[in-house]
A = this chain, B = another copy of it.
Amino acid sequence: MKKPLILVTNDDGITAPGIRNLVEFMNEIGEVVVVAPNSPQSGKGHAITIDSTLTFEEINLDGPQKDYSLSGTPVDCVKFALNKILTRKPDLVVSGINHGANSSINVIYSGTMSAAVEAGVEGLQSIGFSLLDFSWDADFSQAKEYIQQIVKKVLENPLPKGVVLNVNIPKLKREDIKGVKVCRQANAKWEENFDERTNPHGKKYYWLTGYFNNMDDGHDADETALADGYISIVPVKFDLTAHEHLQNLRAILE
């Protein structure tokens, strides 16, 4: 049987430990092509590059996979890979492993998940992986078996049309991970704070900071699963229509 073709991307940049671990895990499952940003692209959401141009180059990194570094966003990487690099349609697109959580509302800010969503828009099977550890030295190996299992299950059981997976992994040792839970996106948000500084010329400038506020302790929410030591999987869709409110809103707005 032909090996599945797996496209790998991320938002932390092509040399980040998270993506290098994911590539290593995927090399054991399929034929791997990496098309990832040449620089960190965290928080880029679903941004695409339309006012400037893109360049790419093949780079040589350890392993049997091919690696291409692109000057764009994670979503650009998926578009560019499908149109200019891959010669056949990939069987799966995986994004990550992100350094840090993309659970709950983070899905909309995340370049990692936006790349996965873009692959879904293109009609492909797609999964984003994130580890709840921002550190560059994070230990991605603890999640290896789980990640490989999830990938194999998706290759064997294609996801419903219009759905991609948002997988978040707690920062735990392999033996302390309790298992996998399919969840809904928790109701949570960032409480922003802008840290004010003054530059040497006397002008004020600001850093976006803040803290994460989880307002949802539902047993079926991703934040709950993660807090309980489970890997959370949220099926994510890109039809954003609030179908359940169409009828009521017609009565008011039409």
**A194 engages B84 (CB within 8 Å):** yes
Q: Is the interface of A mostly helix, strand, loop or mixed?
A: mixed
**Which A36-60 residues have a C-beta within 8 angstroms of B?**
40, 42-51, 53-56
Complex CA–CA separation, A166 to B44 (angstroms): 21
Residues of B within 8 A of A84 (CB): 194, 206
Chain copies in the assembled complex: 2
- Whether A80 is near chain B, meaning CB under 8 Å from some CB there, is yes
- Whether A184 is near chain B, meaning CB under 8 Å from some CB there, is yes
Residues of B within 8 A of A254 (CB): 179-182
- Whether A193 is near chain B, meaning CB under 8 Å from some CB there, is yes
CB proximity of A248 to chain B, nearest CB, Å: 7
Complex CA–CA separation, A235 to B167 (angstroms): 27
**A239 engages B184 (CB within 8 Å):** yes
Chain A contact residues, CB within 8 Å of chain B: 40, 42-51, 53-56, 75-76, 79-80, 82-84, 105, 107-109, 114, 117, 121-122, 150, 153, 157, 159-160, 162-163, 179-185, 187, 189, 192-194, 197, 203-208, 220, 233-243, 245-246, 248-250, 252-254
10 contacts between A and B (CB under 8 A): A42-B50, A55-B203, A79-B208, A80-B194, A84-B194, A108-B121, A159-B249, A184-B239, A233-B253, A234-B240
Not counting A43-B47, A84-B194, A184-B243, a sample of 16 additional A-B residue pairs whose C-beta atoms are within 8 angstroms of each other reads A43-B50, A45-B46, A45-B47, A45-B114, A46-B114, A54-B205, A54-B206, A56-B206, A79-B192, A82-B192, A84-B206, A105-B238, A160-B245, A181-B254, A182-B253, A235-B249
